[in-house]
A and B are shown apart, each in its own frame.
Chain A
């Protein structure tokens, strides 16, 4: 089955002189992603985990690779939050290393860092900013 990646270019003003072009990848339909869970999106050679944090009405995206044992599984992890500030996080299913969905920092005491991506929902479709 072939897949086409739909990019939409969006331009906007930053202090009235600079014009930046962003690339947004159409990932899937919003209802393809389970509530309060994640799916894995294929983007060229990358794998991106997209999370539908329905309880907070927020969406997040990170790399799918857990840096601990180099496994492509973060999208299958459980999400939740931690601390007084309710920092959103995902737990890797293998050894329960947790990572902030906002900063990508490892929250369980290791020096790991994962990539995070902006996500937006437009007309029931999920877009990830890949560049």
Chain B
């Protein structure tokens, strides 16, 4: 004890566990002087996510706490300062640099080093271990010259290393494993085979049952020789064959070690010396060294509690793990290997998608004992909770991994809100469901950021973050805090709720709706959103309520730089007659418009003055054109390839089908714009799979894809139904579009709508093709009503003098154009003057 009456705690090792110990200790008490010695040049960093160092994360990104954190908390941190000796008698430690420090309690958090097998030639250049940032730096600089690399060790860390080598751009990567399968501690043979084929797809070759006997090469590594006399030419080798506890200091100090190394500790993490604790990967508990972060953190907690004078004991560890290896989900939980007759096993294997799932059920069918997930581990969290909390499983246990009839898998297990209060949500930080819920209830936490800060949950491996989100929302809902995405400050309803209210009450105007369900005077958010609802429900002329429309809809044209507008007549399916082309050319010339072919196979005419719009449209309509609705959140175009009428590959007439579909849905207003495409064969020249709906001809009919889009976040459309006939295709489209119009949030494209949808594509497919909500007839009727009430709104606008009058720039000089709308010449046409 020193002069200020505080005990001195010295921590040897500043890795993840050593750091966690400090964090836990200062939170529990301020009665200690803490001194930390680390041998690495930087403060503790996140080794779990070490391989991210190769995809651009910096050492700082991985850091657990800034160097200033230690100072702020009164911790003396010595970096680059390895310890030479512990003198237990005088309770002092000595560093290689010559520092001397006495302690009241000593914490050994020295961690582990890579285990390097004793293979002849292993000392050659080009052989590395995979452990520290420094190792990674060496691998990085050597790896840029290497073409063929191997990893010894097909465990968790070995596969991480394989990913690192892939990220470095090494063309050929091999994984050598002594055991008959990959990750032998986590997964079974079938799981290993699935993982192996996934790895091969990514360019990683796996060699099992291989025992390396010699590392060959002249100074630097050139090949590996195996005990079966086979060999492999490589120019780089990374060793990841397991860990070796760093117990040399403890050994010299005469502390008790295990027969194969590791500092022996009791269930309070105390070594054979009452004043010395060992935590993390250097410690041996119950004859085991634990190479995972969660047990290390648990040891840090137990040691901290005991040093503060309270009692807490280790109670065995959950070795369940979930990780993403080279983009492949791999998880193992509970008793993954228990086999019949001690349990009953359900296995699901999808070699096409590379998914393998195994769950082990108790013989009485009541409990889940453990399992393995490869390729899709979305249900890991809830399955782990089901094991750990001995939750009674559903009568059809296969629902646990398959989902029940279209319900998402999460639902089948009951969801995270149904877990008991003591259920461990964050195993890294040992945070229970109760602790999370009470942070929400008692401390009024409403965001994930605040929840992490307040509970520390989710700050380790991050695997529990989805469960935390569900708990946050679920608890807030249970507390009567109604969370929803309301339209804006004027309406406390979501778009979908308002849609139903407007429909049930047959409301036709914005003012009525604001009066009944809103407050204030409305705004630029709720006005167009309600305009869209009204259009979706009643399909009345939007110009009857012009001032709730966005500017484009108000003037039925797209506003462009300089305040002029662009004009897009409908050219369904991209098919146009020479006469109509001539008309477009004449109109463009007459009004000095810039013309361009659009991405949707039509022609855009830019630079029209507001005052000229009615006359331009009059001429277009006389020639047989109608509005193209390019200005609306509505159906734009249905793009087509030429199809079987001309193309030698075409299977069906894609142009006729595209025209039919475009005309069917023209004028259909939606939460966002809608685009479609029809391709006449699999070559997909219409790029239909990048559209909100895409139709592709097959030998037997049509494939219908939905919810794709281009734009800033491109997303392919997904198959809704295959080989269907024309009528079914239209019926499904009617349902899909109306369901979208009815339920999507404002300005949400179909792809985002689907991404946010609970249950995803399986659910949507059920609604559309199996009528699981029983609303198919209603949706089809709504679409029929839309089709029956369609009118070209430009035709209506120019025929009505009152409406026509609105198309002028100056109310007191209706024929005058805006002098500020100016053009400059460009390639024999004009463009808007730069703003």
Contacts and interface: CB of A to CB of B under 8 A. Distances in A.
Interface string B795-835: 00000000000100111111110101100000000000001
A70 B809 CA distance: 16
Contacts of A106: none
B520 A80 contact: yes
A89 B806 CA distance: 22
B523 A89 contact: yes
A35 B555 CA distance: 16
A91 interface: yes
A1 interface: yes
A56 B813 contact: no
A78 B489 contact: no
B547 A37 contact: yes
Interface size class of B (residues with CB under 8 A): 35 or more
A76 B555 CA distance: 9
B550 interface: yes
A82 B547 contact: no
Contacts, number: 102
A12 interface: no
B546 interface: yes
Interface string B506-523: 000001001000001111
Given A41-B810, A42-B813, A70-B835, A55 B559 contact: no
B521 A72 contact: no
Contact of B524 (A32, A34, A73, A77): A77
Contact of A27 (B520, B563, B811): B811
Contact of B811 (A33, A70, A81, A88): A33
B548 interface: yes
Interface in A4-24: none
Contacts of B810: 40-42, 47
A78 B549 CA distance: 8
B432 interface: no
Interface string A89-104: 1010110101000000
Interface centre among A32, A42, A76, A78 (most CB of B within 10 A): A78
B644 interface: no
Given A70-B835, A71-B563, A81 B812 contact: no
A39 interface: yes
Contacts of A39: 811
Nearest to A50: B811
Residue picked from A27, A73, A89, A98, most chain B C-beta under 10 Å: A73
**Size class of the A contact interface (CB-based, 8 Å):** 35 or more
A40 B524 CA distance: 19
A114 interface: no
Contacts of A55: 511, 514, 521-522
Nearest to A52: B547
Contacts of B814: 1
Interface in A40-69: 40-42, 47, 50, 53, 55-56, 69
B551 A77 contact: yes
Contacts of B528: 78
Nearest to B805: A32
A107 B548 CA distance: 20
B203 interface: no
A36 B489 contact: no
A72 B818 contact: yes
Contacts of A77: 524, 551
Contacts of B562: 71
B511 A93 contact: no
B554 interface: yes
A82 B806 CA distance: 27
Contacts of B552: 93
A34 B521 contact: no
A91 B528 CA distance: 12
A50 B555 CA distance: 18
B322 interface: no
A77 B554 CA distance: 10
Contacts of A34: 546-547, 806
B812 A88 contact: no
Contacts of B554: 37, 76
B639 interface: no
A81 B521 contact: yes
Contacts of B821: 72
B815 A1 contact: yes
B550 A53 contact: no
A73 B559 contact: yes
Contacts of B511: 55
B523 A86 contact: no
A28 interface: yes
Nearest to B528: A78
A70 B563 CA distance: 10
B527 interface: yes
B551 A80 contact: no
Nearest to A45: B819
A3 B522 CA distance: 35
A107 B484 CA distance: 25
B812 to A, nearest CB: 5
B354 to A, nearest CB: 45
11 contacts: A28-B811, A33-B811, A36-B547, A39-B811, A50-B811, A71-B561, A72-B820, A76-B555, A81-B520, A82-B489, A98-B524
Interface of A: 1, 3, 27-28, 32-37, 39-42, 47, 50, 53, 55-56, 69-73, 76-83, 86, 88-89, 91, 93-94, 96, 98
Given A47-B818, A91-B523, 20 more contacts: A1-B813, A3-B813, A27-B811, A27-B812, A33-B811, A34-B546, A37-B546, A40-B811, A41-B812, A42-B813, A55-B514, A70-B835, A71-B835, A72-B563, A78-B527, A78-B547, A78-B550, A80-B524, A80-B526, A93-B551
